[in-house]
Amino acid sequence: MKSVLSGCDSTDGKQTHGSDMTGVTTRSKSRTSEKKDVYSKSNGVISNGFHGYKEGYETLEKSGVSRRSVYLFNHFFFPLVMVGLTPQIVMLFWYTNVKFGGSYSALITHFRSHSVFGTLLKMWSELSIINTFTVGVIFGYFAWALFWMVVLPGKEVRGPVTPKGNTPVYKDNGFLHYCVTMAGFAILTTVLKYNGLTPTVVYDRFGELLAFMNVFALCFVFLLYIKGITRPSTSDSGKTGGGFFFDYYWGTELYPRICGIDVKVFTNCRFGMTVWPLMCCIYALKSYELHGFVDSMFVTTILQLTYITKFFTWEAGYMHTIDIILDRAGFYICWGCLCWLPSLYPSVSLYLVSHPVRLGTPLASSILIVGLISVLINYLADLQRQDVRKANGDCLVWGRKPDLIRAKYRIEGGEVRESILLASGWWGLSRHFHYIPEILLSFFWTVTTGFENVLPYTYLIVLVILLTHRSFRDEQKCSLKYGIYWQEYCTKVKHRIIPFLF
């Protein structure tokens, strides 16, 4: 769910898109199987499908692990554990910050004396989940976000063709929506302050809001599960064959739309990625109310807002990432963006409210500068690849003609398409080079907290794990999709993330 552009995510070449599907997506005219997604290989051209466990099963079987054991783990045990535990982890993360001074060791000590179950029971019992405040704030924001999502203008952009031959269509108004929302928040803050009120009540009652979102998101994901089976928006939908728990976790539909609203654009971008900067501003304001100006809060807020602003200027590119083109709208993505993201991503700012750190001008300025440089490099890397694809390779990269691989692949209907894989410039250093400045940026806005507790570094740790795991998922997808072309690309660009190391 992080805003990254995966190594092989790409815009399709100059191919026709076929017939319109009620103005939402387009579909190739070739007939495709509706029963299940498959991978197929022919003459080095790969059809991009949904699973791809076969080779993994065969490898594990050779090592003594039965296929049934792997299947049960992937399709039952793992989804069940994730759905059961992650909502509790999100709540405990907030609880640790506000009740135990942001100290994991204090939380563990409390577990020993009161038990994990006792701690969870006490935490939930202290919260009023459904009340006028939680319902008003959450659904009030939903109404705001949906209204501007529909009303604001934007050019039409298309995502990559799906395995079933569908092409999603979007209105590119994310940056405008972000600007209107941040301006609206500034106006709301001014009005509230003038009347002796403050939006930082969201900080004071964030536990209630988070608990309500947990309950709402779990129910919403179940409705999406039902929709993907009974009333799907496209043919990229249906049960996966992995059972209820896996389908609930992974989703039953790739591009669900409700009343013309793209669900993943709303949950990922209009909620998750937009609530993140709003929470940063609320936490910064709360810090100012309590402590006055604190340079560490200023630095981390500026770096996070700069990164998020960059994301929205590039939102159309996000529609070509693994979050959108591979991950279905299930618990993993939708609950993650509705609950996990608003809790974890702005957590450094949340921590600094109760743990102000005075860095001093020299150190604060240094961290701010290197952080902004990281944002710039991340932006230039993404822009470089986009420019090459827009020019169809007829351009210069660092003053030279780009080293390209024109990778062909076949969708399920049999139509052959082409993508450009860039193997020079930033993308000649490693296949996922843009992960490096992203991780560095996260470190710079986190190091402002000092080293008293591990908790504020949780996001950074999770990000490293997430991006490393994502790189393996992405490379498996690209290998299956591009076949020999991907092998050629890996030969030219030998390192996955860190040049000369990994």
Which of residues 28 and 284 earns the better pLDDT score?
284
Q: HSE on the CB side for 109, CA within 13 Å?
A: 8
Band (28; pLDDT cuts 50, 70, 90):
very low
Rounded to whole angstroms, the Cα distance separating 100 from 110 reads 9
Task: Lowest mean pLDDT of 139-143, 382-386, 461-465, name the range.
Answer: 382-386
Give the SS3 label for residue 162.
coil
Give the SS3 label for residue 420.
strand
Report the 10 Å Cβ neighbour count for 252: 22
What integer is the mean pLDDT of 460-489? 91
Hunting for tokens 């083109």 — which residue is that?
A: 325
Which of residues 502 and 293 earns the better pLDDT score?
293
Contact 480, 46 (CB under 8 A): yes
Task: Lowest mean pLDDT of 103-112, 216-225, 409-418, 450-459, name the range.
Answer: 409-418
What integer is the mean pLDDT of 424-452? 95
What contacts 24+ positions apart, CB below 8 Å, involve 155-160? 157/316, 157/319, 158/17, 158/26, 159/319, 159/320, 159/324, 159/325, 160/9, 160/10, 160/11, 160/12, 160/320, 160/325
Q: What is the mean pLDDT of the chain?
A: 87
Task: Lowest mean pLDDT of 155-164, 175-184, 255-264, 463-472, name the range.
Answer: 155-164
pLDDT score of 17: 33
Eight-state DSSP code of residue 427: G
Whether the predicted pLDDT of 48 surpasses 80: no
C-alpha angle with apex 441: 473 to 402, nearest 5 degrees? 60
pLDDT score of 42: 35
pLDDT score of 163: 79
Highest-scoring range by mean pLDDT, 24-28, 74-78, 183-187: 183-187
Distances (CA, A) of 304 to 12, 236, 280, 308: 32, 35, 8, 6
Whether the predicted pLDDT of 69 surpasses 80: yes
Torsion of CA 108, 114, 115, 118, to 10 degrees: -120
Amino acid residing at 27: R
Whether the predicted pLDDT of 25 surpasses 60: no
pLDDT score of 328: 94
Whether the predicted pLDDT of 4 surpasses 70: no
What integer is the mean pLDDT of 199-216? 97
Whether the predicted pLDDT of 54 surpasses 60: no
pLDDT score of 414: 75
Whether the predicted pLDDT of 64 surpasses 80: no
Of 380, 359, 262, residue with least CA distance to 313:
380
Of 275, 299, 273, residue with least CA distance to 287:
299
What integer is the mean pLDDT of 307-318? 93
pLDDT score of 68: 82
Report the 10 Å Cβ neighbour count for 451: 8
Band (8; pLDDT cuts 50, 70, 90):
low
Band (65; pLDDT cuts 50, 70, 90):
low
At 234-290, the pLDDT tens digits run 999 999 888 999 999 999 999 999 999 999 999 999 999 999 999 999 999 999 999
pLDDT score of 165: 84
What integer is the mean pLDDT of 40-68? 46
pLDDT score of 63: 54
440 CB-near residues (< 8 Å, 6+ apart): 370, 374
What contacts 24+ positions apart, CB below 8 Å, involve 86-89? 86/335, 86/340, 87/214, 87/218, 87/335, 87/339, 88/120
Band (34; pLDDT cuts 50, 70, 90):
very low
pLDDT score of 358: 97
Whether the predicted pLDDT of 71 surpasses 90: no
State percent of the chain over pLDDT 90: 72
At 376-426, the pLDDT tens digits run 999 999 899 889 988 988 899 998 999 999 998 887 777 788 888 999 999
pLDDT score of 56: 44
Whether the predicted pLDDT of 184 surpasses 50: yes
Rounded to whole angstroms, the Cα distance separating 483 from 485 reads 5
pLDDT score of 409: 86
Rounded to whole angstroms, the Cα distance separating 4 from 1 reads 8
